Amino acid sequence: MLKQHLQFKLSQKLSPQQIQLMKLIQLPTQAFEQRIKQELEENPALEGGKEEKADDFDAEFENSTDDFDDSETINAEDINIDEYLSDDEVPDYRTQANNYSSDDEEKTMPYAAGTSFTQHLIHQLNTYRLSDEERDIAEFLVGSVDESGYIRRSLSDIMDDLAFTQNVYTTEDKIESVLKIVHQLDPAGVGARNLQECLSIQLHRKEKTADTDLAITIIDNAFDAFTKKHYKKLLQKFDISEIQLKDAITEIEHLNPKPGGSYAGNNRIVEHVVPDFAIKIVDGELELTLNGRNAPELHVSREYNNMLKGYKDAKDKSKSQKDAVIFIKQKLDAAKWFIEAIKQRQQTLFVTMSAIMHYQKDYFLTGDERQLKPMILKDIADEIDMDVSTVSRVANSKYVDTPYGTKLIKEFFSESMKNDQGEDVSTREIKKILETVIEEENKKKPLTDEALAKILKEKGYPIARRTVAKYREQLDIPVARLRKKI
């Protein structure tokens, strides 16, 4: 039997404008500038920079309450043009706030064209006398070098690819002989198939001394024992003293495990971090500023305003004029919304960062990471009466310039643990102490995770060995055996 019934249900849906605002808030300074540039290109009713005159163009948009929806059908007669032409006062978006840092740096970052890493290697091949076949193989090998400087493919795969893609039929022995030529190119170690070969190539090209000879012997004949730091085995195997082994290890530590990374012109894009905020200490108090590049000068096009005036003054309104005024209305609404969204973004960023700064006041005044309080997203969201997701968008991709360096904002957030006094302490504080203990340990006998847990307990932080291991891994610190030094 079929039944029908009514059910009332409340649901909250974000409007397209709200979604766009959330996306704007998430953008860091550089990406935000690109977004503004895109909007200026797409919307002719929006213009950047200062207006020359504003005597007859002080359009007040805040009075406009009709939200435009592309799906609605709009008649030109339904548009209240006076809402777009009022000139009673200067609009809010043209007033200036004083909480922006002065920003005189270039907004564009030029890059030198240079030559790629592959081109750099091919240019060196031109100095060798090679047959046509050898040159084809050599150029293919060079093209297989990754950005770290390695060839991470087997010779059999390279042989097959040469046959299929280059129509070069050769043998693995021939490829091996050409590979030795590639190994002579700079930077030293380029073209190696693994770390052992990379280090060996570099050592063989160094000036011959007792230390380099021993280093070569260790890398070529006892690489596994060396990587696992089984120093006793090395001392016994080669019948050497600790001083000799230490000198040889020093030679190895001076080598470059990623030779490709040392080439400055390898055309990898360098990420330039632009701080979104700046915190300074002025007379013992914290002062927060928002990067001035987050407060662009935008206004609505005077030309579009004049188009509306022309339509209003026209006695006979043609169909084309009516279509044009609908198009103008859409563009003006979009420009109005974008300017308003930027204002909201500025306010949201400043309010959120201000709350974070005051919450972590002790840290920002001292720079001591042990002063960081436990802080989660909800703490700040409750403080500023905003959604947790909004705080997350601000924290995840923004940087702040502090007296102690440029920091990623999300690094100030951490969970809490109780110390032996029952007080809540930040996990960042515990990690900092753990890092300090490991730095000060005897490297000949590094502390195990069990020993580290015992020391932290003595310092008033009762945490388990597995928790110590988790924090150590998060700090990118290896296990005790791999921290051992002779």
If asked whether residues 171 and 251 sit together in one domain, one would say yes
Q: Mapping DSSP to helix (H, G, I), strand (E, B) and coil, where does residue 352 land? A: helix
Q: Is residue 403 part of a domain?
A: yes
Q: Is residue 174 part of a domain?
A: yes
Going through 296-429 in order, the beta strands assigned E by DSSP cover: 298-300, 399-402, 405-408, 416-418, 424-426
Domain boundary among 355, 385, 413: 413
Q: Residues 410, 389: contact at Cβ < 8 Å?
A: no
Q: Is residue 369 part of a domain?
A: yes
Q: Report which of 53, 75, 49, 79 is spatially closest to residue 64, judged by C-alpha positions.
A: 79
If asked whether residues 277 and 409 sit together in one domain, one would say yes
Span 341-369, mean pLDDT? 91
pLDDT at 66 over 60: no
If asked whether residues 41 and 152 sit together in one domain, one would say no
Q: For 157-194, what is each residue's pLDDT tens digit?
A: 888 888 888 888 888 899 899 999 989 988 888 889 89
Q: Would you state the pLDDT for residue 364?
A: 92
Place of tokens 């001035």: 292
Q: Residues 136, 99: contact at Cβ < 8 Å?
A: no
Domain boundary among 413, 440, 468: 413
If asked whether residues 54 and 165 sit together in one domain, one would say no
If asked whether residues 281 and 409 sit together in one domain, one would say yes
Q: Is residue 32 part of a domain?
A: yes
Q: What are phi and psi of 285, to 5 degrees?
A: -120, 150
If asked whether residues 284 and 409 sit together in one domain, one would say yes
CA distance 310 to 470: 69
Total-model pTM? 0.53
Going through 350-391 in order, the beta strands assigned E by DSSP cover: none
Q: Report which of 365, 253, 307, 287 is spatially closest to residue 45, judged by C-alpha positions.
A: 307
Radius of gyration over every alpha carbon of the chain, rounded to an integer in angstroms: 33
Say what the alpha-carbon torsion angle 156, 157, 160, 166 is, to the nearest 10 degrees.
-120
DSSP 8-state secondary structure symbol assigned to residue 105:
S
If asked whether residues 173 and 250 sit together in one domain, one would say yes
Q: Is residue 189 part of a domain?
A: yes
Q: Residues 140, 118: contact at Cβ < 8 Å?
A: no
State which residues form the domain around 231: 117-262
Q: For 461-484, what is each residue's pLDDT tens digit?
A: 888 888 888 888 888 888 887 787
Q: Is residue 9 part of a domain?
A: no
If asked whether residues 159 and 236 sit together in one domain, one would say yes
Q: Is residue 11 part of a domain?
A: no
